[in-house]
Protein backbone atom coordinates (compact mmCIF):
# COMPACT_ATOMS: atom_id res chain seq x y z
CA UNK A 1 0.00 0.00 0.00
CA UNK A 2 1.43 3.37 -1.02
CA UNK A 3 2.16 5.60 2.03
CA UNK A 4 -0.57 8.21 2.46
CA UNK A 5 1.53 10.59 4.55
CA UNK A 6 5.11 11.09 5.69
CA UNK A 7 5.70 9.63 9.16
CA UNK A 8 7.40 12.12 11.49
CA UNK A 9 7.37 9.98 14.64
CA UNK A 10 6.11 6.53 15.58
CA UNK A 11 6.32 4.24 18.58
CA UNK A 12 4.08 1.60 20.17
CA UNK A 13 1.66 4.26 21.46
CA UNK A 14 1.20 6.88 18.76
CA UNK A 15 2.04 7.97 15.24
CA UNK A 16 2.60 11.53 14.00
CA UNK A 17 2.29 12.24 10.27
CA UNK A 18 2.57 15.10 7.79
CA UNK A 19 -0.84 15.03 6.08
CA UNK A 20 -1.03 16.20 2.46
CA UNK A 21 -3.63 18.76 1.45
CA UNK A 22 -6.78 17.16 0.04
CA UNK A 23 -6.74 14.18 2.41
CA UNK A 24 -9.38 14.21 5.18
CA UNK A 25 -8.46 13.07 8.69
CA UNK A 26 -11.77 11.22 8.90
CA UNK A 27 -14.17 10.38 6.04
CA UNK A 28 -16.45 13.28 5.14
CA UNK A 29 -18.46 11.41 2.53
CA UNK A 30 -18.86 7.77 1.58
CA UNK A 31 -16.84 8.43 -1.56
CA UNK A 32 -13.88 9.52 0.56
CA UNK A 33 -13.96 6.53 2.91
CA UNK A 34 -10.83 4.94 1.46
CA UNK A 35 -8.92 8.23 1.24
CA UNK A 36 -8.92 9.32 4.87
CA UNK A 37 -6.08 9.01 7.39
CA UNK A 38 -8.34 7.02 9.70
CA UNK A 39 -9.23 4.46 7.03
CA UNK A 40 -5.63 4.10 5.86
CA UNK A 41 -4.09 3.59 9.31
CA UNK A 42 -6.91 1.39 10.57
CA UNK A 43 -6.28 -0.89 7.59
CA UNK A 44 -2.52 -0.73 8.17
CA UNK A 45 -2.40 -1.04 11.97
CA UNK A 46 -5.70 -2.71 12.83
CA UNK A 47 -6.76 -0.09 15.40
CA UNK A 48 -6.35 3.65 15.40
CA UNK A 49 -7.81 6.59 17.34
CA UNK A 50 -8.16 10.12 16.00
CA UNK A 51 -6.82 12.58 18.58
CA UNK A 52 -7.41 15.88 16.72
CA UNK A 53 -8.19 17.12 13.22
CA UNK A 54 -7.07 19.68 10.69
CA UNK A 55 -9.17 20.69 7.68
CA UNK A 56 -9.01 18.48 4.61
CA UNK A 57 -7.40 21.23 2.48
CA UNK A 58 -4.93 22.17 5.22
CA UNK A 59 -1.65 20.28 5.07
CA UNK A 60 0.51 19.37 8.02
CA UNK A 61 1.03 17.59 11.27
CA UNK A 62 -1.53 15.22 12.82
CA UNK A 63 -1.29 12.87 15.83
CA UNK A 64 -3.04 9.49 15.88
CA UNK A 65 -3.14 7.17 18.90
CA UNK A 66 -2.71 3.41 18.70
CA UNK A 67 -4.68 2.54 21.83
CA UNK A 68 -7.59 3.88 23.86
CA UNK A 69 -5.52 5.01 26.87
CA UNK A 70 -3.03 7.00 24.77
CA UNK A 71 -6.01 8.55 22.97
CA UNK A 72 -7.62 9.52 26.28
CA UNK A 73 -4.45 11.13 27.62
CA UNK A 74 -3.66 13.01 24.42
CA UNK A 75 -7.25 14.27 24.20
CA UNK A 76 -6.96 15.61 27.76
CA UNK A 77 -3.67 17.28 26.86
CA UNK A 78 -5.30 19.07 23.93
CA UNK A 79 -8.25 20.04 26.13
CA UNK A 80 -5.92 21.38 28.84
CA UNK A 81 -3.73 23.25 26.30
CA UNK A 82 -0.67 21.13 27.08
CA UNK A 83 0.14 20.68 23.39
CA UNK A 84 1.49 23.72 21.56
CA UNK A 85 0.23 24.01 17.96
CA UNK A 86 2.01 26.16 15.36
CA UNK A 87 0.90 26.95 11.81
CA UNK A 88 2.48 28.62 8.79
CA UNK A 89 0.20 30.77 6.62
CA UNK A 90 0.24 33.23 3.73
CA UNK A 91 -1.97 36.32 3.83
CA UNK A 92 -3.17 39.11 1.58
CA UNK A 93 -2.28 42.30 3.40
CA UNK A 94 0.22 42.87 6.20
CA UNK A 95 -0.97 42.32 9.78
CA UNK A 96 -0.30 45.24 12.09
CA UNK A 97 1.57 45.07 14.36
CA UNK A 98 4.11 42.55 13.03
CA UNK A 99 3.61 40.46 16.17
CA UNK A 100 0.50 40.22 18.27
CA UNK A 101 -2.42 38.26 19.61
CA UNK A 102 -5.92 38.05 18.17
CA UNK A 103 -8.66 37.48 20.75
CA UNK A 104 -12.03 37.15 19.03
CA UNK A 105 -14.78 34.74 20.14
CA UNK A 106 -15.91 32.31 17.45
CA UNK A 107 -19.20 30.58 16.81
CA UNK A 108 -19.77 27.74 14.35
CA UNK A 109 -22.87 28.27 12.23
CA UNK A 110 -25.51 25.56 12.44
CA UNK A 111 -25.41 23.06 9.58
CA UNK A 112 -22.59 24.99 7.88
CA UNK A 113 -18.88 24.37 7.55
CA UNK A 114 -18.25 27.93 8.63
CA UNK A 115 -17.50 29.99 11.74
CA UNK A 116 -18.05 33.66 12.51
CA UNK A 117 -16.91 36.14 15.14
CA UNK A 118 -19.76 36.47 17.63
CA UNK A 119 -20.20 37.90 21.13
CA UNK A 120 -21.88 34.68 22.22
CA UNK A 121 -19.13 32.54 20.68
CA UNK A 122 -16.41 30.58 22.43
CA UNK A 123 -13.20 32.35 23.38
CA UNK A 124 -10.45 32.00 20.78
CA UNK A 125 -6.85 33.24 20.88
CA UNK A 126 -4.21 33.24 18.15
CA UNK A 127 -0.64 34.49 18.66
CA UNK A 128 1.20 35.43 15.47
CA UNK A 129 4.39 36.92 14.06
CA UNK A 130 5.23 38.04 10.55
CA UNK A 131 8.17 36.02 9.22
CA UNK A 132 8.58 37.65 5.80
CA UNK A 133 6.76 40.17 3.60
CA UNK A 134 6.45 40.41 -0.17
CA UNK A 135 4.87 43.74 -1.04
CA UNK A 136 1.26 43.41 0.13
CA UNK A 137 1.58 39.70 0.96
CA UNK A 138 2.97 38.11 4.13
CA UNK A 139 4.30 34.82 5.45
CA UNK A 140 3.42 34.26 9.10
CA UNK A 141 3.76 31.78 11.91
CA UNK A 142 0.79 31.47 14.25
CA UNK A 143 0.24 29.57 17.46
CA UNK A 144 -3.34 28.77 18.37
CA UNK A 145 -3.97 28.87 22.12
CA UNK A 146 -7.45 27.45 21.55
CA UNK A 147 -8.70 25.01 18.94
CA UNK A 148 -11.86 26.50 17.46
CA UNK A 149 -13.31 25.57 14.08
CA UNK A 150 -11.46 27.50 11.31
CA UNK A 151 -9.85 29.67 14.01
CA UNK A 152 -6.87 31.01 12.06
CA UNK A 153 -8.90 31.48 8.89
CA UNK A 154 -11.63 33.54 10.57
CA UNK A 155 -9.27 35.50 12.83
CA UNK A 156 -7.14 36.76 9.96
CA UNK A 157 -10.16 37.49 7.78
CA UNK A 158 -11.50 39.69 10.56
CA UNK A 159 -8.35 41.79 10.90
CA UNK A 160 -8.54 42.46 7.12
CA UNK A 161 -5.59 40.23 6.23
CA UNK A 162 -7.34 37.08 4.94
CA UNK A 163 -5.42 34.02 3.88
CA UNK A 164 -3.91 34.26 0.41
CA UNK A 165 -6.26 31.48 -0.70
CA UNK A 166 -9.35 30.47 1.25
CA UNK A 167 -12.35 29.22 -0.75
CA UNK A 168 -14.69 29.74 2.23
CA UNK A 169 -13.57 33.09 3.66
CA UNK A 170 -11.69 34.72 0.80
CA UNK A 171 -10.31 34.07 -2.68
CA UNK A 172 -10.59 30.73 -4.44
CA UNK A 173 -7.13 30.78 -6.01
CA UNK A 174 -3.85 32.66 -6.41
CA UNK A 175 -2.40 33.38 -9.85
CA UNK A 176 1.08 34.34 -11.04
CA UNK A 177 -0.48 37.29 -12.92
CA UNK A 178 -1.39 38.83 -9.55
CA UNK A 179 2.26 39.45 -8.76
CA UNK A 180 3.64 39.92 -12.27
CA UNK A 181 0.93 42.32 -13.41
CA UNK A 182 1.55 43.65 -16.92
CA UNK A 183 4.73 41.59 -17.16
CA UNK A 184 2.71 38.39 -17.16
CA UNK A 185 2.36 36.79 -20.58
CA UNK A 186 0.37 33.71 -21.53
CA UNK A 187 -0.24 31.99 -24.83
CA UNK A 188 -3.31 33.03 -26.80
CA UNK A 189 -6.50 31.16 -25.93
CA UNK A 190 -4.72 29.61 -22.94
CA UNK A 191 -6.45 29.84 -19.57
CA UNK A 192 -4.12 30.75 -16.73
CA UNK A 193 -3.74 27.98 -14.19
CA UNK A 194 -3.56 28.97 -10.52
CA UNK A 195 -0.34 28.71 -8.55
CA UNK A 196 -2.44 27.70 -5.55
CA UNK A 197 -6.07 26.68 -5.30
CA UNK A 198 -6.29 25.35 -1.75
CA UNK A 199 -6.22 27.12 1.59
CA UNK A 200 -2.78 28.65 2.22
CA UNK A 201 -2.38 27.11 5.67
CA UNK A 202 0.00 24.43 6.97
CA UNK A 203 0.04 22.81 10.43
CA UNK A 204 3.77 23.18 10.94
CA UNK A 205 4.79 22.09 14.42
CA UNK A 206 3.65 20.44 17.67
CA UNK A 207 5.41 20.59 21.05
CA UNK A 208 4.31 18.28 23.87
CA UNK A 209 5.35 15.68 26.39
CA UNK A 210 4.74 12.09 25.36
CA UNK A 211 1.74 10.95 27.46
CA UNK A 212 3.22 7.50 28.16
CA UNK A 213 7.00 8.10 28.34
CA UNK A 214 6.99 11.77 29.43
CA UNK A 215 9.71 12.51 26.85
CA UNK A 216 9.60 16.02 25.34
CA UNK A 217 8.71 16.00 21.66
CA UNK A 218 9.08 18.85 19.17
CA UNK A 219 7.91 17.67 15.75
CA UNK A 220 7.83 19.74 12.58
CA UNK A 221 6.24 19.06 9.19
CA UNK A 222 8.08 20.48 6.19
CA UNK A 223 6.17 22.91 3.98
CA UNK A 224 4.68 21.10 0.97
CA UNK A 225 5.83 21.73 -2.58
CA UNK A 226 2.84 23.90 -3.57
CA UNK A 227 3.35 26.40 -0.74
CA UNK A 228 7.11 26.50 -1.30
CA UNK A 229 6.51 27.28 -4.98
CA UNK A 230 4.22 30.21 -4.12
CA UNK A 231 6.72 31.60 -1.59
CA UNK A 232 9.51 31.40 -4.18
CA UNK A 233 7.42 33.33 -6.71
CA UNK A 234 6.52 35.96 -4.11
CA UNK A 235 10.21 36.40 -3.25
CA UNK A 236 11.02 36.95 -6.92
CA UNK A 237 8.41 39.70 -7.09
CA UNK A 238 10.10 42.02 -4.57
User: Residue 150: which of 119, 120, 109, 205 has the closest Cα?
Assistant: 109
Selected catalytic residue, list 55, 98, 120, 166: 55
58: left (phi over 0), alpha (psi -120 to 50) or beta: beta
Kindly provide the b/e burial profile for residues 131-161, where b requires at least 16 CB atoms within 10 angstroms of the residue's own CB. Answer: eebbeebbbbbbbbeeebbbbbbbbbbebeb
Q: What is the DSSP letter of 109?
A: P
Kindly provide the b/e burial profile for residues 203-215, where b requires at least 16 CB atoms within 10 angstroms of the residue's own CB. Answer: bbbbebebbbeee
Residue 120 appears among annotated catalytic residues:
no
Give the catalytic positions in this structure: 55
Amino acid sequence: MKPLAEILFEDEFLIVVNKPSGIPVIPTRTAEMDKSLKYYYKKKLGEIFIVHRIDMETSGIVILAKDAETHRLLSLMFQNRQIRKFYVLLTRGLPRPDEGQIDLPLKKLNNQNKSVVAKDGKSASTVYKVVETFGNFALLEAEILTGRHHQIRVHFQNIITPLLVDPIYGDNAFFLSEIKGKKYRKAKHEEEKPLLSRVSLHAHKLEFKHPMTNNSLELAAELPKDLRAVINQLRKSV
